A and B are shown apart, each in its own frame.
Chain A
């Protein structure tokens, strides 16, 4: 349960970016979250609500975009989708992947700022 610490880190970055851009208000923060980031979507949303109260930013929504797990397939080449985190095989040919190239994202991509 480290989602509260993650949520506080997100709001810390929101604060800094808001200052850097001279925004008076941040309506939303957009986050890319991969299944292999070690952060649970629902738990993060709950923790984020609490973190907003702590940081006095009650009106800043957290918008989460879930990204897929991608792996290098030795047969099909390039990043390919995988069956699941439990079955790291290429969805096209079923060959086990050789490396994870996507799915570990925990990254802020955009913020909705006023003005």
Chain B
């Protein structure tokens, strides 16, 4: 006799485990008074240079640290450590993105109370990191002037999970004939009203606006602020 299947209603988020860990991280960081910012972008967009400049400048007045994800090598961690900030590399092996558990493991023995800002540099990838909440308060998506103005249109999902965009390598804008208006239109299409910073970490152009924004964002974080990445499951 054939058993007929019964349809059982189940409401389960596929990434439930990641979301649970991310929420716990967000609570832990809030309790310790640390504001968490993650950076996502394609490889070579200037995340590490941007973060190096951010750590060096912000580190003069605030206690900063960083986690950096890469498939292999600790080159980025060594570069970032030059800023004097505590830095830890997360080597993901074949994994193309960071997950909340990797962040939790990397922070296991850190005293978060000693920090004001924690930055998480994700693996260079504009696709997979979109699906994973890392417990951050703010997710910044970076793209450089050399990548083409229509990057947001090509990767709308990652731009949708980010809270703000940073256009990098502005010092090269003239050389590559970067069309700022076209980039703004591309961003506005995928994410109307998105906050955008335009910077050159090399010359320092635009960095002060970014740093002032960070300084202003952190004190507001008495209660855990929900980033866009946390609002995926509305």
Q: Which residues of A contact B (CB under 8 A)?
A: 1-2, 5-6, 9-10, 13, 17, 21, 23, 25, 27-28, 31, 35-39, 85-89, 96-98, 100-102, 104-115
In the assembled complex, 24 residue pairs joining A and B whose CB atoms fall closer than 8 Å, in A order, are A1-B128, A2-B96, A5-B95, A13-B12, A35-B157, A36-B130, A36-B161, A37-B157, A37-B232, A38-B128, A38-B130, A85-B156, A85-B160, A85-B190, A97-B192, A100-B160, A104-B160, A107-B13, A107-B14, A108-B10, A108-B14, A111-B10, A114-B3, A114-B6
Contact in complex: A106, B12 (CB < 8 Å): no
B12 touches which one: A1, A86, A97, A107 (CB < 8 A)? A107
> Could you mark each residue 1-12 of chain B with 1 if its beta carbon is under 8 Å from any beta carbon of chain A, else 0?
001111111111
Q: A1-B128, A38-B128, A38-B130 are in contact. Are A88 and B12 (CB under 8 A)?
A: no
Taking chain A's interface residues, is the majority helix, strand, or loop, or is none over half, making it mixed? mixed
Q: A102-B234, A114-B5 are in contact. Are A86 and B14 (CB under 8 A)?
A: no
Contact in complex: B153, A27 (CB < 8 Å): no
Looking at the assembled complex, report how far the CB atom of B189 sits from the nearest CB atom of chain A, in whole angstroms.
5
9 closest Cβ contacts across the A-B interface? A96-B192, A38-B130, A85-B156, A38-B131, A112-B5, A2-B128, A104-B232, A108-B12, A114-B3
Looking at the assembled complex, report how far the CB atom of B92 sits from the nearest CB atom of chain A, in whole angstroms.
11
Residues of B within 8 A of A113 (CB): 5-6, 8
Interchain CA distance A6-B95 in the complex, whole Å: 12
Q: What is the number of contacts between chain A and chain B, taking CB atoms within 8 Å?
A: 118
Interchain CA distance A96-B10 in the complex, whole Å: 34
Interchain CA distance A13-B127 in the complex, whole Å: 24
Contact in complex: A2, B10 (CB < 8 Å): no
Residues of A within 8 A of B234 (CB): 100-102, 104
Is B158 located at the chain interface by the 8 A CB criterion?
yes
Interface centre among A27, A88, A105 (most CB of B within 10 A): A88
Looking at the assembled complex, report how far the CB atom of B70 sits from the nearest CB atom of chain A, in whole angstroms.
16
Residues of A within 8 A of B95 (CB): 2, 5
Q: A36-B157, A101-B234, A104-B233 are in contact. Are A110 and B97 (CB under 8 A)?
A: no
Contact in complex: A106, B5 (CB < 8 Å): no
Taking chain B's interface residues, is the majority helix, strand, or loop, or is none over half, making it mixed? mixed
Contact in complex: A86, B10 (CB < 8 Å): no
- With CB as the reference atom, state the residue of chain A lying closest to B99: A5
- With CB as the reference atom, state the residue of chain B lying closest to A112: B5
A9 touches which one: B17, B96, B127, B158 (CB < 8 A)? B17
Contact in complex: A111, B15 (CB < 8 Å): no
Is B24 located at the chain interface by the 8 A CB criterion?
no
Interchain CA distance A110-B7 in the complex, whole Å: 7
Is B191 located at the chain interface by the 8 A CB criterion?
yes
> Could you mark each residue 87-122 of chain B with 1 if its beta carbon is under 8 Å from any beta carbon of chain A, else 0?
000000001110000000000000000000000000
Interchain CA distance A101-B4 in the complex, whole Å: 37
Residues of B within 8 A of A1 (CB): 96, 127-128
Interchain CA distance A27-B10 in the complex, whole Å: 14
Interchain CA distance A45-B160 in the complex, whole Å: 24
B11 touches which one: A5, A23, A108 (CB < 8 A)? A108
Contact in complex: B14, A2 (CB < 8 Å): no
Interchain CA distance A1-B94 in the complex, whole Å: 10
Residues of A within 8 A of B161 (CB): 36, 38, 104
